[in-house]
Copies of this chain bind each other. A is one copy, B any other.
Amino acid sequence: MIGGGQGGNIGAVHRMAARLDGQFQLVAGALSSDPERARASGAALGLDPARSYGSFSDMARAEAARPDGVEAVAIVTPNHLHAAPAITFLEHGVHVICDKPLTATMAEAEALARAAEASPALFILTHNYTGYPMIRQARAMVASGALGAIRLVQAEYIQDWLSDAVEAKGSKQAEWRTDPARAGLGGALGDIGTHAWNLAAFVSGMEPEALAADLTSFVPGRSLDDNAHVMLRYASGARGALWCSQVASGQENALSLRIFGDKAGIEWHQEEPNCLWFSPIGAPRQRLTRGGPGASPEAARVSRVPGGHPEGYIEAFATLYAEAAEAIRARQTGEAVPEGVLYPDLRDGLSGMRFIAAAVASARQNSAWVSL
Protein backbone atom coordinates (compact mmCIF):
# COMPACT_ATOMS: atom_id res chain seq x y z
CA MET A 1 0.00 0.00 0.00
CA ILE A 2 1.20 3.49 -0.90
CA GLY A 3 -0.21 6.10 1.47
CA GLY A 4 -2.80 5.18 4.04
CA GLY A 5 -0.70 5.98 7.08
CA GLN A 6 -1.87 7.33 10.39
CA GLY A 7 -4.19 10.32 10.12
CA GLY A 8 -5.53 9.16 6.79
CA ASN A 9 -8.95 7.82 6.11
CA ILE A 10 -9.37 6.02 2.84
CA GLY A 11 -6.38 3.75 3.51
CA ALA A 12 -8.25 1.95 6.26
CA VAL A 13 -11.20 1.49 3.94
CA HIS A 14 -8.97 -0.08 1.29
CA ARG A 15 -7.50 -2.40 3.89
CA MET A 16 -10.92 -3.57 5.10
CA ALA A 17 -12.10 -3.95 1.52
CA ALA A 18 -9.04 -6.01 0.66
CA ARG A 19 -9.46 -8.20 3.72
CA LEU A 20 -13.19 -8.85 3.61
CA ASP A 21 -13.18 -11.59 1.01
CA GLY A 22 -9.85 -13.05 2.06
CA GLN A 23 -8.19 -12.48 -1.30
CA PHE A 24 -5.44 -10.08 -0.28
CA GLN A 25 -3.01 -9.76 2.58
CA LEU A 26 -1.18 -6.58 3.44
CA VAL A 27 2.53 -7.47 3.50
CA ALA A 28 4.37 -4.30 2.53
CA GLY A 29 3.82 -0.57 2.33
CA ALA A 30 5.17 2.92 1.97
CA LEU A 31 2.45 4.32 4.11
CA SER A 32 3.48 7.93 4.17
CA SER A 33 5.67 10.31 2.24
CA ASP A 34 7.21 11.15 5.62
CA PRO A 35 9.57 8.18 6.24
CA GLU A 36 9.24 8.41 10.00
CA ARG A 37 5.48 8.35 9.87
CA ALA A 38 5.63 5.59 7.25
CA ARG A 39 7.55 3.35 9.60
CA ALA A 40 5.34 4.11 12.59
CA SER A 41 2.23 3.41 10.54
CA GLY A 42 3.71 0.14 9.30
CA ALA A 43 4.46 -0.92 12.85
CA ALA A 44 0.93 -0.06 13.95
CA LEU A 45 -0.41 -2.29 11.20
CA GLY A 46 1.95 -5.13 12.04
CA LEU A 47 4.01 -4.91 8.85
CA ASP A 48 7.37 -6.64 8.78
CA PRO A 49 9.72 -3.66 9.36
CA ALA A 50 11.83 -4.86 6.46
CA ARG A 51 8.87 -4.31 4.17
CA SER A 52 7.72 -1.01 5.62
CA TYR A 53 9.39 1.42 3.26
CA GLY A 54 10.17 5.11 3.42
CA SER A 55 9.21 5.77 -0.18
CA PHE A 56 7.27 4.14 -2.95
CA SER A 57 10.37 3.88 -5.14
CA ASP A 58 12.26 2.01 -2.44
CA MET A 59 9.33 -0.29 -2.09
CA ALA A 60 8.99 -0.92 -5.81
CA ARG A 61 12.67 -1.71 -6.15
CA ALA A 62 12.86 -3.94 -3.10
CA GLU A 63 9.63 -5.80 -3.63
CA ALA A 64 10.42 -6.48 -7.27
CA ALA A 65 13.65 -8.07 -6.14
CA ARG A 66 11.98 -10.42 -3.65
CA PRO A 67 10.74 -13.78 -4.78
CA ASP A 68 7.71 -13.20 -2.54
CA GLY A 69 7.28 -9.55 -3.56
CA VAL A 70 3.85 -7.98 -3.66
CA GLU A 71 1.60 -8.97 -6.52
CA ALA A 72 -0.49 -5.85 -6.34
CA VAL A 73 -0.21 -2.43 -4.79
CA ALA A 74 -2.96 -0.13 -3.55
CA ILE A 75 -2.34 3.59 -4.06
CA VAL A 76 -4.37 5.68 -1.62
CA THR A 77 -2.51 8.99 -1.67
CA PRO A 78 -3.86 12.43 -2.63
CA ASN A 79 -4.49 12.93 -6.34
CA HIS A 80 -1.13 14.46 -7.24
CA LEU A 81 0.66 11.44 -5.82
CA HIS A 82 -1.12 8.81 -7.91
CA ALA A 83 0.78 8.93 -11.18
CA ALA A 84 4.36 8.53 -10.03
CA PRO A 85 3.92 5.41 -7.89
CA ALA A 86 1.42 3.91 -10.30
CA ILE A 87 3.83 4.28 -13.21
CA THR A 88 6.71 2.90 -11.18
CA PHE A 89 4.84 -0.21 -10.06
CA LEU A 90 3.39 -0.82 -13.51
CA GLU A 91 6.93 -0.67 -14.86
CA HIS A 92 7.89 -3.32 -12.33
CA GLY A 93 4.98 -5.46 -13.43
CA VAL A 94 3.04 -5.03 -10.20
CA HIS A 95 -0.74 -4.74 -10.53
CA VAL A 96 -2.02 -1.36 -9.39
CA ILE A 97 -5.23 -0.66 -7.52
CA CYS A 98 -5.52 3.12 -7.41
CA ASP A 99 -7.90 5.57 -5.79
CA LYS A 100 -9.76 8.09 -7.92
CA PRO A 101 -9.62 10.55 -9.64
CA LEU A 102 -6.93 9.14 -11.86
CA THR A 103 -4.38 11.92 -11.32
CA ALA A 104 -4.17 15.63 -10.62
CA THR A 105 -3.32 16.68 -14.18
CA MET A 106 -4.11 15.51 -17.66
CA ALA A 107 -0.39 15.23 -18.43
CA GLU A 108 0.05 12.82 -15.55
CA ALA A 109 -3.00 10.91 -16.69
CA GLU A 110 -1.57 10.48 -20.15
CA ALA A 111 1.80 9.36 -18.84
CA LEU A 112 0.05 6.85 -16.66
CA ALA A 113 -1.99 5.64 -19.59
CA ARG A 114 1.19 5.02 -21.57
CA ALA A 115 2.75 3.17 -18.68
CA ALA A 116 -0.32 0.99 -18.28
CA GLU A 117 -0.37 0.15 -21.96
CA ALA A 118 3.27 -0.86 -21.85
CA SER A 119 2.93 -2.97 -18.74
CA PRO A 120 1.76 -6.56 -18.42
CA ALA A 121 0.20 -5.56 -15.10
CA LEU A 122 -3.39 -4.51 -14.55
CA PHE A 123 -4.64 -1.09 -13.48
CA ILE A 124 -7.82 -0.93 -11.41
CA LEU A 125 -9.38 2.39 -10.44
CA THR A 126 -11.52 2.29 -7.29
CA HIS A 127 -14.73 3.91 -8.42
CA ASN A 128 -16.08 1.86 -5.59
CA TYR A 129 -19.78 2.67 -6.09
CA THR A 130 -19.76 0.40 -9.13
CA GLY A 131 -19.35 -2.48 -6.69
CA TYR A 132 -22.87 -2.21 -5.27
CA PRO A 133 -25.03 -5.18 -6.27
CA MET A 134 -28.04 -3.08 -7.23
CA ILE A 135 -25.80 -0.92 -9.40
CA ARG A 136 -24.68 -4.07 -11.19
CA GLN A 137 -28.32 -4.95 -11.63
CA ALA A 138 -29.20 -1.47 -12.87
CA ARG A 139 -26.45 -1.70 -15.47
CA ALA A 140 -27.70 -5.08 -16.60
CA MET A 141 -31.26 -3.83 -16.82
CA VAL A 142 -30.27 -0.91 -19.02
CA ALA A 143 -28.16 -3.17 -21.21
CA SER A 144 -31.01 -5.65 -21.58
CA GLY A 145 -33.34 -2.97 -22.83
CA ALA A 146 -35.63 -3.09 -19.80
CA LEU A 147 -35.75 0.72 -19.79
CA GLY A 148 -36.14 1.08 -23.53
CA ALA A 149 -34.27 3.89 -25.23
CA ILE A 150 -32.64 6.08 -22.60
CA ARG A 151 -33.91 9.64 -22.50
CA LEU A 152 -32.63 11.08 -19.24
CA VAL A 153 -29.67 10.50 -16.95
CA GLN A 154 -29.73 12.38 -13.66
CA ALA A 155 -26.79 11.99 -11.32
CA GLU A 156 -26.29 13.76 -8.03
CA TYR A 157 -23.58 13.59 -5.45
CA ILE A 158 -24.09 16.00 -2.60
CA GLN A 159 -22.42 16.41 0.77
CA ASP A 160 -22.06 19.17 3.31
CA TRP A 161 -18.70 18.63 4.91
CA LEU A 162 -17.10 21.59 3.11
CA SER A 163 -19.92 24.00 3.97
CA ASP A 164 -17.46 25.86 6.08
CA ALA A 165 -13.75 26.62 5.58
CA VAL A 166 -12.68 23.47 7.39
CA GLU A 167 -9.51 23.39 5.30
CA ALA A 168 -8.36 26.40 7.33
CA LYS A 169 -9.25 24.75 10.60
CA GLY A 170 -7.03 21.72 10.56
CA SER A 171 -8.92 19.20 8.43
CA LYS A 172 -6.16 17.36 6.60
CA GLN A 173 -8.75 15.76 4.32
CA ALA A 174 -10.14 19.13 3.34
CA GLU A 175 -6.73 20.75 2.97
CA TRP A 176 -5.46 18.77 0.05
CA ARG A 177 -8.84 18.44 -1.60
CA THR A 178 -9.20 22.23 -1.83
CA ASP A 179 -5.62 22.81 -2.93
CA PRO A 180 -5.17 22.99 -6.72
CA ALA A 181 -1.57 21.84 -6.41
CA ARG A 182 -2.61 18.57 -4.86
CA ALA A 183 -6.17 18.04 -6.07
CA GLY A 184 -5.82 19.31 -9.64
CA LEU A 185 -8.33 21.38 -11.60
CA GLY A 186 -11.39 20.11 -9.82
CA GLY A 187 -12.60 20.43 -6.24
CA ALA A 188 -15.98 18.80 -5.75
CA LEU A 189 -15.72 17.89 -9.43
CA GLY A 190 -12.73 15.65 -8.83
CA ASP A 191 -13.54 14.39 -5.39
CA ILE A 192 -17.13 13.36 -5.93
CA GLY A 193 -18.18 14.57 -9.38
CA THR A 194 -16.02 11.93 -11.02
CA HIS A 195 -17.81 9.25 -9.01
CA ALA A 196 -21.18 10.48 -10.24
CA TRP A 197 -19.84 10.78 -13.78
CA ASN A 198 -18.43 7.27 -13.67
CA LEU A 199 -21.54 5.76 -12.13
CA ALA A 200 -23.81 7.35 -14.71
CA ALA A 201 -21.66 5.92 -17.50
CA PHE A 202 -21.31 2.54 -15.83
CA VAL A 203 -25.05 2.10 -15.52
CA SER A 204 -26.29 3.87 -18.63
CA GLY A 205 -23.65 2.34 -20.85
CA MET A 206 -22.96 5.65 -22.53
CA GLU A 207 -20.97 8.84 -22.02
CA PRO A 208 -22.11 12.35 -22.86
CA GLU A 209 -20.74 13.95 -25.99
CA ALA A 210 -20.93 17.45 -24.54
CA LEU A 211 -21.49 19.28 -21.30
CA ALA A 212 -22.24 22.78 -20.06
CA ALA A 213 -21.16 23.62 -16.54
CA ASP A 214 -21.54 26.30 -13.93
CA LEU A 215 -18.98 26.04 -11.13
CA THR A 216 -19.00 27.87 -7.85
CA SER A 217 -16.74 28.27 -4.84
CA PHE A 218 -19.15 29.30 -2.16
CA VAL A 219 -16.80 29.34 0.77
CA PRO A 220 -14.69 32.48 0.87
CA GLY A 221 -11.02 31.85 0.21
CA ARG A 222 -11.60 28.61 -1.62
CA SER A 223 -10.17 28.53 -5.13
CA LEU A 224 -11.54 25.20 -6.36
CA ASP A 225 -15.20 24.51 -6.98
CA ASP A 226 -17.29 23.28 -4.07
CA ASN A 227 -20.41 23.06 -6.21
CA ALA A 228 -20.98 22.20 -9.85
CA HIS A 229 -24.11 22.17 -11.96
CA VAL A 230 -23.55 20.34 -15.22
CA MET A 231 -25.96 19.77 -18.10
CA LEU A 232 -25.28 16.76 -20.31
CA ARG A 233 -25.97 15.85 -23.92
CA TYR A 234 -25.58 12.39 -25.35
CA ALA A 235 -25.02 11.46 -28.99
CA SER A 236 -28.20 9.39 -28.89
CA GLY A 237 -30.27 12.48 -28.16
CA ALA A 238 -30.51 11.65 -24.48
CA ARG A 239 -30.11 14.48 -22.01
CA GLY A 240 -29.03 14.65 -18.43
CA ALA A 241 -27.72 16.61 -15.51
CA LEU A 242 -25.02 16.06 -12.97
CA TRP A 243 -24.95 18.03 -9.77
CA CYS A 244 -22.20 17.69 -7.23
CA SER A 245 -21.87 19.79 -4.14
CA GLN A 246 -19.94 19.76 -0.91
CA VAL A 247 -21.90 22.64 0.60
CA ALA A 248 -25.38 21.10 0.60
CA SER A 249 -26.22 21.47 4.28
CA GLY A 250 -27.51 18.32 5.91
CA GLN A 251 -26.34 15.95 3.20
CA GLU A 252 -23.92 13.24 4.18
CA ASN A 253 -22.96 11.21 1.15
CA ALA A 254 -25.98 11.54 -1.06
CA LEU A 255 -24.97 9.98 -4.34
CA SER A 256 -27.99 9.13 -6.41
CA LEU A 257 -28.76 8.08 -9.94
CA ARG A 258 -31.99 8.21 -11.89
CA ILE A 259 -32.30 7.01 -15.45
CA PHE A 260 -35.46 7.28 -17.51
CA GLY A 261 -36.08 5.43 -20.74
CA ASP A 262 -39.08 5.29 -23.00
CA LYS A 263 -40.21 2.07 -21.33
CA ALA A 264 -39.20 2.43 -17.69
CA GLY A 265 -37.17 4.33 -15.16
CA ILE A 266 -34.81 3.36 -12.35
CA GLU A 267 -33.71 5.16 -9.23
CA TRP A 268 -30.94 4.37 -6.77
CA HIS A 269 -29.59 6.10 -3.68
CA GLN A 270 -26.21 5.24 -2.24
CA GLU A 271 -27.39 5.79 1.31
CA GLU A 272 -30.00 3.04 0.82
CA PRO A 273 -27.93 0.88 -1.50
CA ASN A 274 -29.73 -2.43 -1.18
CA CYS A 275 -32.75 -1.11 -3.01
CA LEU A 276 -33.34 -0.22 -6.64
CA TRP A 277 -36.60 1.35 -7.73
CA PHE A 278 -37.94 0.18 -11.06
CA SER A 279 -40.85 2.05 -12.67
CA PRO A 280 -42.16 0.55 -15.87
CA ILE A 281 -44.52 2.90 -17.66
CA GLY A 282 -48.07 1.74 -17.04
CA ALA A 283 -47.26 -0.68 -14.23
CA PRO A 284 -46.77 -0.24 -10.49
CA ARG A 285 -43.42 0.87 -9.17
CA GLN A 286 -41.29 -1.98 -7.89
CA ARG A 287 -38.83 -1.93 -5.03
CA LEU A 288 -36.16 -4.38 -6.10
CA THR A 289 -33.89 -5.48 -3.30
CA ARG A 290 -30.51 -7.13 -3.12
CA GLY A 291 -31.23 -10.74 -2.38
CA GLY A 292 -34.94 -10.27 -2.91
CA PRO A 293 -37.23 -11.88 -5.48
CA GLY A 294 -36.41 -9.33 -8.17
CA ALA A 295 -32.64 -9.47 -7.83
CA SER A 296 -30.77 -10.32 -11.01
CA PRO A 297 -27.81 -12.72 -11.41
CA GLU A 298 -25.52 -9.71 -11.80
CA ALA A 299 -26.56 -8.52 -8.32
CA ALA A 300 -26.37 -11.99 -6.85
CA ARG A 301 -22.85 -12.56 -8.19
CA VAL A 302 -21.50 -9.79 -5.95
CA SER A 303 -23.75 -10.35 -2.90
CA ARG A 304 -22.52 -11.99 0.28
CA VAL A 305 -25.56 -12.29 2.54
CA PRO A 306 -29.30 -12.85 2.00
CA GLY A 307 -31.83 -10.13 1.32
CA GLY A 308 -32.79 -7.94 4.24
CA HIS A 309 -29.29 -8.25 5.69
CA PRO A 310 -27.96 -4.91 4.46
CA GLU A 311 -24.63 -4.78 2.69
CA GLY A 312 -22.97 -1.40 2.63
CA TYR A 313 -20.11 0.76 1.52
CA ILE A 314 -17.30 -1.53 2.62
CA GLU A 315 -18.84 -4.52 0.88
CA ALA A 316 -19.15 -2.59 -2.39
CA PHE A 317 -15.57 -1.47 -2.06
CA ALA A 318 -14.53 -5.03 -1.30
CA THR A 319 -16.24 -6.20 -4.45
CA LEU A 320 -13.78 -4.16 -6.49
CA TYR A 321 -10.96 -5.89 -4.66
CA ALA A 322 -12.57 -9.26 -5.30
CA GLU A 323 -13.00 -8.39 -8.97
CA ALA A 324 -9.38 -7.29 -9.10
CA ALA A 325 -8.36 -10.62 -7.57
CA GLU A 326 -10.28 -12.47 -10.26
CA ALA A 327 -8.74 -10.43 -13.01
CA ILE A 328 -5.23 -10.78 -11.59
CA ARG A 329 -5.65 -14.50 -11.22
CA ALA A 330 -6.81 -14.79 -14.81
CA ARG A 331 -3.86 -12.72 -15.94
CA GLN A 332 -1.52 -15.00 -13.99
CA THR A 333 -3.01 -18.21 -15.27
CA GLY A 334 -3.66 -17.01 -18.76
CA GLU A 335 -7.26 -18.05 -18.47
CA ALA A 336 -10.17 -15.86 -19.43
CA VAL A 337 -11.49 -13.45 -16.85
CA PRO A 338 -14.66 -15.08 -15.43
CA GLU A 339 -17.88 -13.80 -16.88
CA GLY A 340 -19.35 -10.88 -15.06
CA VAL A 341 -16.13 -9.53 -13.59
CA LEU A 342 -16.19 -5.76 -13.88
CA TYR A 343 -13.95 -3.02 -12.61
CA PRO A 344 -13.19 0.56 -13.60
CA ASP A 345 -9.86 0.92 -15.31
CA LEU A 346 -7.71 3.43 -17.09
CA ARG A 347 -10.35 4.32 -19.64
CA ASP A 348 -12.66 5.26 -16.79
CA GLY A 349 -9.87 7.25 -15.22
CA LEU A 350 -9.19 9.15 -18.43
CA SER A 351 -12.89 9.77 -18.90
CA GLY A 352 -13.07 11.27 -15.42
CA MET A 353 -10.14 13.53 -16.20
CA ARG A 354 -11.81 14.68 -19.41
CA PHE A 355 -14.97 15.37 -17.43
CA ILE A 356 -13.11 17.62 -15.00
CA ALA A 357 -11.28 19.41 -17.80
CA ALA A 358 -14.43 19.92 -19.86
CA ALA A 359 -16.42 21.19 -16.90
CA VAL A 360 -13.72 23.68 -16.00
CA ALA A 361 -13.40 24.76 -19.63
CA SER A 362 -17.15 25.23 -19.94
CA ALA A 363 -17.32 27.23 -16.74
CA ARG A 364 -14.54 29.51 -18.01
CA GLN A 365 -16.56 30.12 -21.19
CA ASN A 366 -19.66 31.10 -19.23
CA SER A 367 -21.17 27.61 -19.42
CA ALA A 368 -20.78 27.11 -23.16
CA TRP A 369 -21.22 23.54 -24.35
CA VAL A 370 -17.86 21.77 -24.52
CA SER A 371 -17.37 18.54 -26.44
CA LEU A 372 -15.81 15.54 -24.78
Question: Contact residues of A with B, CB < 8 Å?
Answer: 9, 12-13, 15-16, 19-22, 147, 151-152, 154, 159-160, 163-164, 212, 214, 216, 218, 227, 229, 231, 233, 237, 239-241, 243, 245, 247-254, 258, 260-265, 267, 270-274, 277-289, 291-294, 304-315, 366-369
Contacts and interface: CB of A to CB of B under 8 A. Distances in A.
Given A20-B16, A214-B233, A292 B249 contact: no
Contact of A163 (B22, B252, B262): B262
Contacts of A20: 16, 19-20, 314
Contacts of A270: 308, 310
B262 A249 contact: yes
Contacts of A19: 19-20, 22
Contact of A307 (B227, B241, B252, B367): B252
A229 to B, nearest CB: 5
A264 to B, nearest CB: 5
Given A152-B245, A265-B251, A231 B233 contact: no
Contacts of A288: 284
Given A227-B151, A249-B261, A249-B264, A281 B243 contact: no
Given A312-B311, A314-B20, A231 B214 contact: yes
A239 B218 CA distance: 10
A311 B314 contact: yes
Contacts of A265: 160, 248-251
Contact of A239 (B227, B282, B310): B227
Given A20-B314, A314-B20, A212 B287 contact: no
Contacts of A252: 289, 291-292, 306-309
B314 A304 contact: yes
Contacts of A305: 13, 313-314
* Residue of A16, A249, A252 with highest tally of chain B CB at under 10 A: A249
Contact of A281 (B22, B160, B277): B160
Contacts of A308: 159, 251-254, 270-271
27 contacts: A12-B304, A13-B305, A20-B20, A147-B249, A151-B227, A160-B260, A229-B231, A248-B265, A249-B263, A252-B307, A252-B309, A253-B307, A254-B308, A270-B308, A271-B310, A272-B272, A272-B310, A283-B294, A284-B286, A285-B287, A285-B289, A286-B286, A286-B287, A305-B314, A309-B312, A312-B314, A366-B368
A271 B286 CA distance: 17
A287 B289 contact: no
A304 B313 CA distance: 10
B284 A152 contact: no
Nearest to A216: B239
A228 to B, nearest CB: 9
A316 to B, nearest CB: 9
A282 B163 CA distance: 10
A248 B151 CA distance: 8
Contacts of A247: 151-152, 260, 262
Contacts of A243: 154, 241
Contacts of A283: 293-294
A284 B152 CA distance: 24
Contacts of A309: 252-253, 312-313
